[in-house]
Chain A
Amino acid sequence: MGRSGPLLSGLYRSADRENFEHLGPHHIRTFSLAYDPSDSARLYVALLDGVLRTPDRGKTFRIVTSWDMTEAKSISVDRNRPEHVYAGIPDGIAVSHDRGQTWQRMNAGIRRAYTEAILVDRTAAGRVLAGTEKGLYLTEDGARTWRLVHGTEKVTHSLRQSPHDPKVFFAATGGDGALWSSDRGLTWTRLAGVSTERTLHNGEFDPRDARRLVYCGWGVGVQVSEDGGKTWLDRTAGLPKREVWKVAIDPDLPDRIYAAPYMEPLFASDDFGRTWRKLQWEKANVFDLVFVPRK
């Protein structure tokens, strides 16, 4: 391992969308974050060492997993049972029933259990979708049993549930394009017009406009849709490269999206990707962008 340079890696927070402050440990493999819906000061962070939990937005923290559950890639909290936390790890799925204090592995039924994406359905306690190496799996009993709902050739990298219609899910994969479900994740179809030749990193719904979607990936740049995914427009012009690690849509600011090209500054756009400006850092790799309620 190794690190150099004056800047800190790990978790950053911005309260004004312009300035960022570093929180918690300097950690170059910090991948994702979720908050406890019952107390948004409690954050769970997926990182190389496992799962980090902070009760106070990073003032204090603790690694809550042990040596046998590490390299967590994604994390999701059950809105209907917020003491239940699910983490996608390279050899399965880790589940906590006590807000991260203790963990158990619960991936029975999943073949090739590498799990990059995990998402709890906000409409039902214990209903969780997992994006694994070979497909999308669903549990409806809090991870006791899993069943394959859609097979894929490559890893599913992100899963999102529509903020407008909870039956709708959107998945980005490493070689199967973008997948869409309109029936709570039971069946999936591939979105037309999305490349299956490239690795997609993530896709997002616009919380303010049900017709708007965005996805990004390696060599893909930033692609936006304003018709619910029927057609896509390339909005990469203005970014320094087409290798984009993460893209996010701001839930508060109209037309504001963020893009994180690989080893470049974090960029922001206030016209839904038509023009871009540098927002922060000079040479960074932003693994995830997450919005957390102020209270």
Chain B
Amino acid sequence: MNTPSRVGAFFPVPLLTRWATTLVSLLLFAVVTAGLEAQPSFTAPPPATAPVGDPALRRDQYLARRMEALRWRAAMATPGDPTKLGLAEIAAKLALREDAAACSERLIELMKKPAADMFWMFPVTCISYLGRDQLSGEAKAAIREAWRTYYPLRGDTENHWVMYYTTMHLMAQLWPGEGEDRWFNGKTSAEISAESRAWLLHWMELATTIGQGEYDCTHYLGEYSIPMLFLATWAQDPEMRQRGKMMLDWVIADFAVETLNGIYIGSHARTDDTTVFEKWNALSSYFAWQLLGNCPPQASYGGWGIYFATVADHYELPEVIYRIGTDRSGAYTHVERKRTRHRWRNSDVRNAPVYKTSYVTKDYALGSDQGGLLQPIQQHSWDLTWAVPDPRGVHNTIFSVQPFYGAEELMMYFTEMPDYMPAAVTFQGKPTYIAESKLLGGSPYEQIFQQEDTLISLSDVPASAPWKQVNGFFSKDLALIEEDASGWIFAQGGSAYIAYRPLAGYEWRPLEKGGKRLLSPHAKNGTLLQAAAANEFKTWDAFKAAIRGLPLEITLTPTPRVTFTTLRGKKIEVAYGAAPRVDGRVVDYAGQWKLFAGPYLNGAVGGRILTMTHGRLKRVLDFNTLTITDAVLP
């Protein structure tokens, strides 16, 4: 070939990777099967769910759980086998202040092959700080060199950015005053510090005024709380340290109020194909175990949980949050405002409001959002979760979805070209995304309303949609399922009685993981669910009779419409495309849904303040003044 005369350099910009289409972060759980049997609390009987009253005992148990996690992880390192000494084991060992020489030696090797972007950054940040007075000079130099030569991506979603900017802030603090030639991105320590601080403040502003974007995630809870613990522990700037501490309280309180025996209930911005059935099986359960002590931890302490454990001794869970998370002596309704993640296309608003409702009792919890496409791919809009003695392996939940997928959804939330995305999402670990049988994900054609323990979901699906149906999940762990001539399906899960009313005809399909799918193949459709505690009725038949006796009108054409008087005596009127009514009054989402509202958490939209109360305990997080105020009410 002749040498080109006019144009000499040719720059293709390729992507070369087997994971070519990584739109959404993957949780890299470092689960090692061989170690599971030795994980004490994972295999032990479930802990008691009753609150521990004695603060000293509570703290001791909290610290003991931390040590259990650290010792388990540290023990996974096999002497003489460096491959068994990874970042998590090194972090655990450094937290225990053991084997610093071996950790140093291994780190030098590990820093030669960094990978996984921000999921690499925060373990290495953790190790760097834990190892400040333990690691060898060579190991520290290897870490330093990796942050010069390895280019971790910033990511494309909120949890990525929290990890990325928190670690950038802390590492710029660790290596201050360095020039642009010392950092992978060509910026100076001062520039990195300023940029990361600005982003963190921006994120906190959004979260404390209009809510988190990736709200209430069963797994990503860790990706928010661990960086905030790092910030609270290691930031030298007192403002950033205080902000980290306050955001950690904020995130944990937001979690605690929507748990039932440690299980994250109701609507989630993101969950996954396992946790949507087995509600306990999530990283969030590690946090419930560590902080509340009322459920078993996930296998391997959720993988990432180990990094929280490394510095968990620097955090003392405020008693008011502990009480909110563990006291289920009385039923309560909690509502809150969140936001969608950033919408890039197909929307006139950057972050649309999300209106969440949760009703929690000691026996069951019902939680929901308003329906619609609020998050891409992994949205879970509603479920009823019932209490079980031991949640491991149990599918203690019931819900329905209008299955949907499409490039339009992905274009809204990702900045990628449209056509390859649906298949790419499926390829990269979300196998049900384009499946007709899917039970995970939101739909633009679904509208949900919840009043206490009653929920009505309506769907009106156009011909252009991929599927014109509703899928209902009926668990293998339901004690009873009875199809009644009235059209109701009666079921029992634990001590919860459940009345489920498909609004249109249905058939059953088996599910690979157990239980069965209610397939209702009609475009104009929906689900009505009424829950109750078993002890509210003398007999099962009495419950059924009570439900049959409730006034109910269902109309499906021209648009779905339901009028129902609940077990609690409220008359609900819902029509697809219209605002719901309760006892004749129009529900005003924008006006009624505060940032938080309920007996325990309260805060106004735009307020930057969260007030937590339980009994006589009160704690106020005020981001306007960066103050934490504790009070014991007289």
Contacts and interface: CB of A to CB of B under 8 A. Distances in A.
Contacts of A30: 13-15
B612 to A, nearest CB: 30
A71 to B, nearest CB: 5
Interface stretch (A77-85, A184-192, A222-230, A285-293): A285-293
Contacts of A28: 15-17, 19-20, 22, 153
Contacts of A26: 151
Which among A40, A60, A67 has the greatest number of chain B C-beta atoms within 10 A? A67
A60 B153 CA distance: 18
A224 to B, nearest CB: 20
Interface string B113-156: 00111110000000000000000000000000000000101111
A218 B420 contact: yes
A284 B14 contact: yes
B184 A31 contact: no
B420 A252 contact: no
B8 A1 contact: no
A62 B419 CA distance: 32
B12 interface: yes
A280 B11 CA distance: 13
Contacts of B82: none
Contact of B7 (A29, A31, A73, A252): A252
Contacts of A283: 16, 18, 20
B10 A17 contact: yes
Interface string A9-43: 11111111110100001111111110000001001
A125 interface: no
Interface stretch (B342-350, B391-399, B555-563, B569-577): B342-350
B417 A49 contact: no
B26 interface: yes
Contact of A281 (B16, B22, B346, B350): B16
Contacts of A251: 6-7
Interface in B398-434: 411, 415, 417-420
Contact of B195 (A45, A62, A67, A284): A67
B419 A20 contact: no
B48 interface: no
A243 B420 contact: yes
B187 interface: yes
A14 B345 contact: no
A252 B17 contact: no
B13 A290 contact: yes
Contacts of A70: 154
Given A48-B154, A49-B153, A292 B17 contact: no
Contact of A199 (B20, B22, B417): B417
Nearest to B154: A49
Contacts of B514: none
B3 interface: yes
Nearest to B347: A112
Given A13-B10, A284-B15, A91 B344 contact: yes
Interface string B1-45: 101111111111111111110100110100000000000000000
A287 B240 CA distance: 39
A155 B407 CA distance: 13
Contacts of B18: 4-5, 283
Given A66-B198, A71-B415, A11 B420 contact: no
B9 A57 contact: yes
Interface in A162-189: 174
A287 B417 CA distance: 10
A281 B18 CA distance: 12
Nearest to A66: B195
B16 A5 contact: yes
Contacts of B551: none
B20 A285 contact: yes
B7 to A, nearest CB: 5
B285 to A, nearest CB: 24
Interface size class of A (residues with CB under 8 A): 35 or more
A204 interface: no
A127 to B, nearest CB: 25
B417 A9 contact: no
B186 A17 contact: no
B14 A285 contact: yes
Nearest to A132: B345
B513 interface: no
Give the one of B16, B116, B187, B348 with max A CB within 10 A. Answer: B16
B6 A263 contact: no
Contacts of A243: 419-420
Given A2-B26, A252-B5, A291 B10 contact: yes
Nearest to B5: A252
B182 to A, nearest CB: 12
Given A9-B16, A62-B187, A114-B345, A294 B415 contact: no
Contacts of A285: 14-16, 20
A67 B198 contact: yes
B180 interface: yes
Given A1-B25, A2-B26, A11-B11, A199 B419 contact: yes
B19 A2 contact: yes
Given A12-B12, A15-B9, A293-B6, A155 B187 contact: no
B7 A7 contact: no
A133 B345 CA distance: 7
Contacts of A61: 186
Point out which of B5, B14, B18 has the most chain A C-beta atoms below 10 A from its C-beta.
B14
Contacts of A14: 9-12
A99 interface: no
A40 B185 CA distance: 22
B7 A1 contact: no
A26 B181 CA distance: 17
B202 interface: yes
A206 B418 CA distance: 27
B623 interface: no
B199 to A, nearest CB: 4
Contacts of A112: 345, 348
Contacts of B342: 91
A15 B5 CA distance: 11
B4 A90 contact: no
Contacts of B119: 1-2
A199 B418 contact: yes
B341 to A, nearest CB: 12
Contacts of B22: 1-3, 28
A4 B116 CA distance: 9
A3 B17 CA distance: 6
Contact of A263 (B3, B20, B419): B20
A291 B7 contact: yes
A26 B198 CA distance: 26
A49 B198 contact: no
A139 B22 CA distance: 35
A148 interface: no
Contacts of A201: 417
B160 interface: yes
Contact of B185 (A17, A49, A219, A258): A49
B183 to A, nearest CB: 9
Contacts of A48: 153-156
Contacts of A60: 181, 186
A294 B8 contact: yes
27 contacts: A1-B26, A1-B119, A5-B17, A12-B13, A12-B14, A15-B10, A20-B12, A27-B153, A30-B15, A31-B13, A32-B13, A63-B187, A71-B415, A91-B350, A112-B348, A114-B415, A155-B345, A219-B419, A243-B419, A262-B420, A281-B14, A287-B15, A289-B13, A292-B7, A292-B8, A293-B7, A294-B9
Given A292-B9, A293-B7, 16 more contacts: A1-B22, A1-B155, A2-B119, A5-B16, A9-B14, A14-B9, A14-B11, A20-B12, A33-B13, A49-B154, A68-B202, A155-B411, A243-B420, A266-B14, A288-B13, A291-B11
In the A-B complex, the 10 residue pairs with the smallest Cβ-Cβ separation, listed nearest first, are A294-B8, A62-B186, A25-B151, A218-B419, A285-B15, A7-B16, A252-B4, A67-B199, A288-B13, A90-B344
